[in-house]
A and B are shown apart, each in its own frame.
Chain A
Amino acid sequence: MTVNTTAYVRSPSRTSAYLDWLQMLTGVALILFMWSHMILVASVNLGAGVMNALAAFLEATYMAQVGGPMVGCIFLLHFILAARKVPFRAEQQSTIWKLSRQLRHTDTYLWLIQATTAMIILIMGSIHMWTVLTDLPITAAKSAGRIQGGFWLVFYLILLPMVELHVGIGFYRIAVKWGFARRKDRKKFKRFENYLTAIFIAIGLITLIRFLLLKV
């Protein structure tokens, strides 16, 4: 500890606590959103009509027009809150990479994955949201057309695992940090989280293939 605590007294503040709450709550909201998002998009596997009907419902109720930008705001807020912990300084970067390599410690590595995927999701997620929300209504044909163009296929092949990894690790991290997963449950919970991530990536890939093969 290098700080001389006798030198000054800081006025007590609750800001750290509120920011931590918000970071967790926005995280939970986004996790729940991403799971429902994946299930809704995967409805195309049941038939283009099912996806179109669901999309039409979301637009008729204005959930897409209002909910979409709202998710975008939560997304940005979550980035700003979590960025408080991301090592943006070069010195911190080299410290954390060196430490992770030395320790060979999975959870420390997982955090690096979390922070790295966050940066990619920030950019690619924004592009995705802008593209979809400025081109409403959402239809299976439009989505399929984009995927079959090639560029967006590669785009989503990158974004999909990034998001699922980030969501999965975030889910585990929240459970551990806030004491929902205790020492005795940690292993089981981690395995559960790994399966969940794998299942969602699989659903995503199947959905992408479905879009690729869908007759437009």
Chain B
Amino acid sequence: MARRLKFNIFRYNPQDPDSSPHTDTFHLEETESMTLFIALNQIREEQDPSLQFDFCCRAGICGACAMMINGRPGLACHTLTKELPEEITLMPLPIFKLIGDLSVDTGTWFRSMYEKVESWVHTDKEFDPKAEEERMDNALAEEIYELERCIECGCCVAACGTANMRQDFVGAVAMNRIARFIMDPRDERTEREYFEIIGTDEGIFGCMGLLGCEDVCPKHLPLQDQLGILRRKMGWSAVKQLFKFGK
């Protein structure tokens, strides 16, 4: 027999002065292969059209539907209700600005973070639109692509003890981003330049190694490994600068 699911959903509209944060309860009959994406849409269609939540691709690619599912950050479209108990509590991601109910603005945070870590290829080479594209070793391209798979959902930031306590901490997503550019031969930044961006307590040295990021990342990015590599690299960079060798 199909289960009757109970949803506790956080409700608050910061735009509306009469709205105050509270939890609304909804009930749904569970259907086969039901995801939270399906469930939330059904609730909005049949029970409460004012319910706010974000969706786009419903296939784990756009990263818009990240939310706290029974206390853990995850993608609603990737979460089957059959993997959850009968009572499901949904909250918006912490840290990010709340738009309303389950919808948060990750865009502003990510834009600011990308500006901070200068998330683009730094090169002095003049771009020639007619020239053939530079070739890259396939193995390296795949290594870079592995880190590029990030969908910017914000789960790693929401699960991070450090980021939750300290708003200036850039989070695993930023380290992953920097690691990607360090690998990229087209980026001409020196180790010291990377160090100036990320070799701080807001960057890699602020990370306490709680590995919430690693354990919740819906794309299973190798965050633990990248954080470890980056800490060592930046640690050595500081030692090299102290004894004045290397660049």
Contact = CB atoms under 8 A, between A and B. Distances in A.
B116 interface: yes
A178 B165 contact: no
A96 B207 contact: no
Given A5-B115, A179-B232, A87 B109 contact: no
Contact of A104 (B71, B195, B241): B71
Given A1-B116, A1-B170, A108 B228 contact: no
B212 A176 contact: no
Contact of B215 (A5, A19, A105, A177): A105
Nearest to A172: B209
A178 B238 contact: no
A29 B168 CA distance: 31
Please classify how large the interface on chain A is, using the bins under 10, 10 to 19, 20 to 34, 35 or more.
35 or more
Given A1-B109, A1-B167, A101 B71 contact: yes
Q: Of residues A12, A17, A21, which shows the largest number of chain B Cβ atoms within 10 Å of its Cβ?
A: A17
Given A16-B205, A92-B165, A108-B210, A103 B231 contact: no
Q: Of residues A16, A96, A182, which shows the largest number of chain B Cβ atoms within 10 Å of its Cβ?
A: A16
Contacts of B195: 12, 14, 17
A110 to B, nearest CB: 8
B164 interface: yes
A178 B216 CA distance: 20
Nearest to A13: B200
Q: Of residues B208, B212, B227, which shows the largest number of chain A Cβ atoms within 10 Å of its Cβ?
A: B208
A101 B201 CA distance: 25
A108 B162 CA distance: 10
B168 A3 contact: yes
Given A104-B72, A107-B212, A177-B207, A12 B196 contact: yes
9 closest residue pairs by CB, A with B: A179-B228, A17-B238, A102-B71, A177-B209, A16-B205, A1-B112, A12-B196, A20-B205, A16-B201
